[in-house]
């Protein structure tokens, strides 16, 4: 796996401590990464469709928490240990793939049945709020590609001699913050068109697309060598 090989030894590059100029260049890369649709986006949309604004918000907070945990691990050096331990990395990869496939099947099942009122009432009785937060958190924390992203990008903007752990944490948390801001922008848009999205045919179509995308992300993660 190309990404894993790149994380085995951080490149020795000579850069200044994190300045506003360096941070600006980093922001450009992070924004491009954040805007690219991925599993986090699909999980947020799945929960926004089934749980409204609150459901999407809780899933987004779960994703943010997972992102912050993975960013902290990378900044503090724990991420390298995980990436170097092939059994741990593979276990994380397969757990993440299985969980995305599970969420995908859930969305497809909802699209097939179309009985949203009954399902949502049952979810409220079971404490759907924590479940939505958990879905966001687990979908992110079990995705090793997020950790690989941190380990691939962060070293390019850090000098191991002159920059501090706080610099690394600041860069890592930038990804988490911008990621959740983008999810909240999407959530606000979904909330504004909620009346149209509430139509049964539209809802079933979106659930089908979301479920298929989650299955695709899960399969791609599992098959990546």
Q: Which of 24-38, 125-139, 191-205 has the highest mean pLDDT?
A: 24-38
pTM over 0.85: no
Q: In Å, what is the CA distance from 192 to each residue of 51, 52, 117, 195, 199? A: 14, 11, 20, 8, 14
Q: Measuring CA to CA, which residue among 135, 87, 96 is closest to residue 219?
A: 96
Q: Are 208 and 111 contacting, i.e. CB atoms less than 8 angstroms apart?
A: yes
User: Given pLDDT bands bounded at 50, 70 and 90, which one contains residue 176?
Assistant: very high
User: Given pLDDT bands bounded at 50, 70 and 90, which one contains residue 115?
Assistant: low
Query: pLDDT value at position 6?
Result: 41
Residue range 65-86, pLDDT digits in tens = 999 999 999 888 887 777 677 7
H helix runs in the chain, sequence order: 2-7, 20-35, 39-75, 78-84, 86-113, 116-125, 128-141, 144-153, 165-192, 194-197, 200-223
Residue 143: phi and psi, rounded to 5, are -100, 100
Query: pLDDT value at position 225?
Result: 59
Residue range 191-214, pLDDT digits in tens = 888 777 777 777 788 788 888 888
d(CA 59, CA 54): 9
User: Given pLDDT bands bounded at 50, 70 and 90, which one contains residue 102?
Assistant: confident
Average pLDDT, the chain: 79
Residue range 34-52, pLDDT digits in tens = 888 888 998 998 899 888 8
The pLDDT of 174-199, averaged and rounded, is: 89
């Amino acid at each position: 796996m190309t990404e894993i090989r790149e994380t085995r030894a951080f490149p020795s590059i000579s850069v200044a401590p994190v300045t506003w100029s360096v941070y600006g260049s980093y922001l450009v890369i992070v924004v491009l990464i954040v805007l690219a649709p991925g599993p986090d986006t699909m999980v947020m949309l799945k929960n926004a469709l089934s749980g409204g604004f609150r459901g999407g918000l809780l899933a987004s907070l779960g994703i943010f928490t997972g992102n912050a945990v993975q960013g902290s691990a990378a900044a503090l050096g724990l991420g390298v240990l995980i990436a170097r331990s092939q059994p741990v990395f593979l276990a994380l990869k397969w757990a993440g793939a299985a969980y995305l496939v599970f969420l995908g099947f859930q969305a497809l099942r909802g699209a097939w049945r179309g009985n949203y009122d009954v399902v949502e009432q049952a979810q409220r009785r079971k404490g759907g709020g924590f479940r939505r937060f958990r879905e966001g958190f687990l979908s992110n924390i079990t995705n090793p590609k997020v950790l690989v992203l941190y380990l691939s990008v962060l070293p390019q903007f850090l000098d191991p001699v002159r920059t501090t752990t706080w610099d690394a944490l600041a860069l890592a948390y930038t990804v988490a913050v911008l990621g959740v801001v983008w999810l909240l922008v999407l959530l606000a848009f979904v909330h504004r068109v909620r009346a149209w999205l509430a139509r049964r045919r539209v809802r079933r179509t979106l659930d089908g697309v979301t479920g298929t995308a989650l299955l695709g992300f899960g399969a791609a993660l599992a098959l990546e060598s």
